[in-house]
Amino acid sequence: MVNMKKLTPLFAMMLLFASCQTGDKSVNPPVAKKIPYEIVTHGHQRVDPYYWMNQRENPDVVAYLEAENAYLKSMMKDTEPLQEKLYTEIRSRIKESDESVPYPENGYEYYSRTVPGEEYSLFCRKKTGSAVEEIMLDINSMAKGYAYYGVGGGSVSPDNKILAYSVDTVSRRNYSIYFKDLSTGALLADVIPMTTGGVVWGNDNKTIFYVVRNETTLRSEKIMRHTLGTEVSDDDLVYFEEDETFSVNISKTKSGRFLIIGSGSTLTTEFRFLDANKPDGVFEVFQARERGLEYDVDHAGDFFYVRTNLNARNFRLMKAPLDRTMKENWVEVIPHREDVYLSGVSLFNDFMAVQERKDGLNQIRIMPWNGEEHTIAFEEEVYTVSIGVNREFDSSTLRFQYSSLTTPVSTFDYEINSRERLLLKQEEVLGGFNAGDYETLRDYALAADGTRIPLSIVYKKGFVKDGTRPALLYGYGSYGYTQDPHFRVRILPLLDRGFVYVIAHIRGEQFYGRGWYEDGKLLKKINTFTDFNAAAEHLIKEKYTSADKLFAKGGSAGGLLMGAVVNMRPDLYKGVIANVPFVDVVTTMLDESIPLTTSEFDEWGNPKDETYYHYMLSYSPYDNVEAKDYPAMLVTTGFHDSQVQYWEPAKWVAKLRDMKTDSNPLLFQINMDFGHGGASGRFQGIKDTALEYAFIFDLIGITE
């Protein structure tokens, strides 16, 4: 057996590449060198032996990452036929020649479509009532020669003549904006780099507004104004956000009348507005920022409509005259309710559609400006519904999407006057899929403090709760982002092999409203992790599964969740998948040069405050690795990740390798071409899913 500890990283990598051709599982994993680095905060000393891994250009860092990839390939070599089978199985469920439901906007129908064998979509439009297709962008042709190709920010000028779109070829979410003449197909000379990708048009068809990132921290900090045909270097700075805890964006009201600049942090927002017919004008503050005051703005008729948490934890809806926008002029339209979270409002000329969450379920309420309100009814016990793409302000029809863990995504048009709904399309799942073959339900785990934690569960009919079935438990639990129970074609290989799939709606989400979020953040963050472990205990106790067949999965902040729960209760899980995990919490949040750090102090806390420092240190996965047994683990990351830097999981894996006392596999995949969101193509990401499932199946003896 080769002793990897005695080899340089580069030579070790060469040996691992050789061994991966035969799948030699006797090869020891890579061993990262240790260079002690002292970090002293509030008089407390930490020594980080793997701090050196943040040197992106260091050949030793790259060699170590490549060695990890080679080791993973070697360890998973025997499963490659199974991976290929799973890839084919999942891909065969997807309709390769497909088309989105067209949405109307300004005399055109816009849609995207895919063609067999191609990774990317075609973005198209037709004049309303015409059958003649106009291909605005063929991403397959544009992406040739690129490992990653992300397109965003598509926006057509009000006169329908110019398309503004943006491209990221690195997967770091830095977009360059381009302009295309839709009548000739020619690109204009204007190219704007280092943006967030979004473009908003003034109503003069030549003025556009965009957002510029800080080159180091990637914070969205500037709103710029550009006139087509002029030098980008001459663009006007419209607004600069000086507070490093805030980021900015720009949009236009659906009515088309106002341009809106938004500036926000986790707890506070502020908006400015300008008549879109006067894009050279000066933006006016809507309501000056006050810490803890959150609001957002849209327009209809003679009023601005304001969704706000002003004296309303679950938010309420107000309206304000166009010339008197400060909060003292706001008049209540929808009151605050303790049991209903007001998550969004879509305004139309004759009505508004209100997105709400009650008892953990999304619902849509229709409120005509003149007439009786009503809520659209749905029958399933566990589902999700959301307001879809509705670009036409003067319409009596609402587009919405419905889905559940057993019902593929279904797009409806709802006529508010007749209350009739028309199914426009349901996602077609190939391979003989029948929704009736599966069952979904809601169950509850009991947290240590007595709180009931909702679980969304799906399995194939015939499932028996006898403790013999495998299970995959999924969670996130941060930023108030709720993991709703929508259809996931990629979990079908699990269900068809007897797995139960479970989503844990832990605190830190907004499943039950704002309070559910606030009870899982800052100095209550520990609830997120203990809720997830309570869910695992419940699944074992109620014999959905057993500890030797229970797997857990989470990504990004959900990867933090994975790191925390295995430190606390490694005995609950057979295996864990942690995608792009945020695991070095304290060190990252102490470094304000790292992207996203300053904007997230109100989510995690600022460790420069001693109270938060010690609290964050108590759960930070990297800082709490111990000499004990851990479950089998597969960790993934992207070298160009702009959200969670690659070195966080790299350091975590290295420390786990050095300290853990078990012989369970610990595998690390680093995609050297991608970032936080993984592959850009529609099929490339399936390979990652196939790898994850093969990892799970191999641990419990499923061979096909």
Residues that are catalytic: 556, 641, 676
Question: 77 is written with which tokens?
Answer: 């070599």
Cβ 613 vs Cβ 586: under 8 Å: yes
Q: Which residue's entry shows tokens 């679950």?
A: 314
How are beta strands 666-671 and 632-638 bridged, if at all? parallel
The whole-angstrom separation of Cα 264 and Cα 241 is: 10
Cβ 208 vs Cβ 201: under 8 Å: yes
Q: What is the DSSP string of 131-173?
A: ---EEEEEHHHHTTT-S--EEEEEEE-TTS-EEEEEEESSSSS
383 DSSP 8-state letter: -
Q: What are phi and psi of 269, to 5 degrees?
A: -130, 160
Q: What is the DSSP string of 475-524?
A: ----TT--------GGGHHHHTTT-EEEEE--BTB-TT-HHHHHTTSGGG
Amino acid at 615: Y
The whole-angstrom separation of Cα 674 and Cα 671 is: 6
The three-point CA angle 411-417-423 to 5° equals 20
In terms of Cα–Cα distance, which of 441, 431, 375 is closest to 404? 441
Q: Provide the β-strand partners of residue 226.
A: 208
In terms of Cα–Cα distance, which of 581, 530, 532, 527 is closest to 552? 532
- Contacts (Cβ under 8 Å, ≥6 apart) of 200: 155, 208, 209, 210, 250, 251, 252, 259
Q: Provide the β-strand partners of residue 251.
A: 260
Amino acid at 148: Y
